[in-house]
Structure 1
Amino acid sequence: MSMNRTELVAAIAERASLTKVQADAALAAFQDVLIDSLGKGEAVKVTGLLSVERVERAARTGRNPRTGEEIHIPAGYGVKISAGSTLKKAVAK
């Protein structure tokens, strides 16, 4: 089972005594800040919850799974998300 955005907004609204519109705006703002920060190469850390950072991937050689042909995969960036201690404890139960 997973929670979609609508359900997340409703849960945030209830827990924080906000309207759904306010909770959705807060979630959208968090998303914007996260995207802007990662785009600049800045890590975002919410102590105890999570850490998100941009990581560099080196160029490498891969294989086309259909043909087995070698292909060049260019260097680029990815996103690394690490769970904080509070989040780790929550899922260990």
Structure 2
Amino acid sequence: MNKTELIDAMAADAGVTKAAAKKALESFLGNVEKTLKEGGKISLVGFGSWSVSERAAREGRNPQTGATIQIAAKKVVKFKAGAELSDAVN
């Protein structure tokens, strides 16, 4: 499912216009991004949680040449599925 299909499904399920569903989805995504940028954590009980984790700098290899390269440290977003979501999938 892509973003357009999700907006269509949200509009149908909630009985709202596609424009309202798009606005709601963009607001949700924007707030998730803002919270994670500020170093916060988001938890939706039963669905899952998002958090930011630090990945340390490390040494890697270029697969084409085999040469050793330095991979810089960076922050990564992690998602952990909640119990209800995990149960629904399995």
TM-score bucket of the superposed structures, by smaller chain: over 0.9
Instruction: Report the Cα distance in structure 2 between the residues aligned to 1:23 and 1:86, rounded to whole angstroms.
Output: 24
RMSD of aligned alpha carbons: 0.7
User: 1:79, 1:46 → 2: CA distance?
Assistant: 16
2:72 corresponding residue in structure 1: 74
Residue identity over aligned pairs, in percent, reads 43
Matches within 5 A, 1:81-92: 81-92=79-90
State the alpha-carbon separation in 1 of the partners of residues 87 and 6 from structure 2: 21
Deviation at 1:4, TM superposition (A): 1.1
Name the residue aligned to 1:19.
17
Measure how far apart 1:18 and its partner are: 1.2
From 40, 43, 46, give the equivalent of 1:45. Answer: 43
Q: Find the partner of 2:2 among 1, 4, 25.
A: 4
CA drift at 1:24? 0.4
Partner AA of 1:73 in structure 2:
I
In 2, the alpha carbon distance for the partners of 1:21 and 1:5 equals 13
Structure 1 stretches of at least 4 aligned residues deviating more than 6 Å after TM superposition: none
CA distance in 1, matches of 2:35, 2:29: 10
Distance 1:16 1:56 in 2: 38
* Structure 2 portions without partners, runs of 5+: none
Q: Separation in 2 of the partners of 1:50 and 1:21?
A: 26
| Separation of aligned partners in 2, 1:48 and 1:70 | 43
Q: Give per-residue Cα distances to partners, 1:7-31, cap 9 Å, x unaligned.
A: 1001111111211100000000011
